[in-house]
Amino acid sequence: MSVLMRFIVLLILAVIAILLTVILGDYGPWYLSWLLGTGFMVLVAAMGGVLYEEQEDALDRPAEVKNRSSSGY
Condensed to tens digits (0 to 9), the pLDDT of residues 24-43 reads: 777 767 777 887 889 899 99
Query: What is the block-wise mean pLDDT of the chain (73 residues), using blocks of 10 residues?
Result: 86 86 76 84 93 90 61 56
pTM of the model: 0.48
Length, in residues, of the chain? 73
CA distance 13 to 6: 11
